Amino acid sequence: MRSISDLSKHDLETLFDHIQAAIALVDRDGKLISWNSVFETGKRQYPNAERLQDLFLQRDADLVRAKLMEHDKEHWAGEFAITETDAAVLCDFWLIPARNDYKIFIAERIATEADAETMVGKLRKQVRLYQVESEYSKKLARNKQIEMEAVLAQAQEVAHVDPLTFLPNRRTIIKDLQSEVMRAERYRSLFSISVVDIDNFKMINDNYGHPVGDEVLRHVALLLRDSIRHPDVVGRYGGEEFIILLPNSDKHAAAEQAARLCREIRSHTVRSKDHEMRVSISIGIAEFKVGEDSWHSLLKRADNAMFTAKNNGRDRWVIGD
C-alpha cells in the first residue's frame, strides 16, 4: 500500500479537490502559493487577494497574521467565504506548518448545530489547556491570557449564533424577546415583534434538495439582517421561521417594515449552483399589551397572524389581535 509520501503532486491536487474543505498552501507572510477548488470558489469574491489575510475582514486579518508567525499548529473559528454567495459562513480553521517554511490553511464549514457544539467543545478544551499552561510559565502567562480570552469570545459567539444563517439562534432571540418584554412592561414603552416565514419552503427542499434550501435560508437571513433598522434585531426561530424584535415601535411601524421586507425579498433572485428562483415571505405582527401580555402570549399572537397571512395567499403581512 502506498504511503502519503509516495503520492505525486498531481495525486495530492486531485485529493484536495475532492475534499469539501477550503485548502491553501501559503508562505510565512501569508502569500497564496496554491489552493483547491473549494478555496477558489470563495477567492472569486476577492480577485485581487494575494495573501491569506486579504480574504478576511480587518478585525480577523490581524489575528491571521499573528497565527502565521507561530511555529506550532494553530486552530480557531471565524467567518470565511467558501460559497458562491456574498455571505461568509462559520468555519473551523487550521494552520499547519509544512516544509520550507510553508503552511497549510484549512477552512472547514460548520454547517449544523451539532458541528457548532463540537466546535464549542474543542474551544473550551483549548481554554482548559491554556489555563494549565499559564500556571507553569509566568513568562507566557500574559500571552496565554490574551489568547484564552480570544478563544472564550469565539466559544461565546458560536454558542449564540445559528451556524447556518449567522443570525442569533433560537435560544438567544427568545432570551432577547424576554428581556424586551420585561423592559416594555417596566417602563410602559412600545414594543412589537414580527414572525417571518419563508413561503413554500418545503416545496423548495423537495424540488431542489436541502443544500438549495439552505442557500435560500442564508439569502433571506442576510436580506432581513441588512434591511431592518439598527435598534431592531432579527434571529432564526427555527426551520424557515425568523423573529424580528422592534423596541420602541408600535404595530403600525412594524407593518411599514413588514411591507418593505416583503417587497425586498420578492425583488431578489436566489442563485444556487444551477438554480435560480424567487421567494416570498409571510409576516405576522403583534404589539405588546402592557399588563396583559407575556412574552409567550405576544409570540403566539404574532405566530397566529403569520398563519393568517399564509391562509390569505402568502407574500403579505397581517397584524394580530
Continuous H helices in the chain: 9-17, 37-43, 58-69, 113-136, 138-160, 170-187, 201-208, 210-227, 251-266, 295-311
Going by the DSSP 8-state scheme, the letter that residue 236 receives in this structure is: E
Q: How many CB atoms lie within 10 A of CB 229?
A: 9
List CB contacts of 171: < 8 A, sequence separation 6 or more.
Answer: 160
The angle subtended at Cα 21 by Cα 17 and Cα 24, nearest 5°, is 70
The angle subtended at Cα 91 by Cα 51 and Cα 177, nearest 5°, is 130
Going by the DSSP 8-state scheme, the letter that residue 6 receives in this structure is: G
Using alpha carbons, select from 53, 62, 4 the residue that is nearest to residue 26.
53
Q: What Cα–Cα distance (Å) separates residue 260 from each residue in 33, 134, 152, 197, 314?
A: 46, 53, 38, 15, 15
How far apart CA 236 and CA 238 sit, in angstroms, is 6
Longest dimension (CA), the chain: 74
Indicate the SS3 state at residue 185.
helix
Q: At 297, list the grid cell.
A: 402570549
Task: Enumerate the active-site residues.
Answer: 240
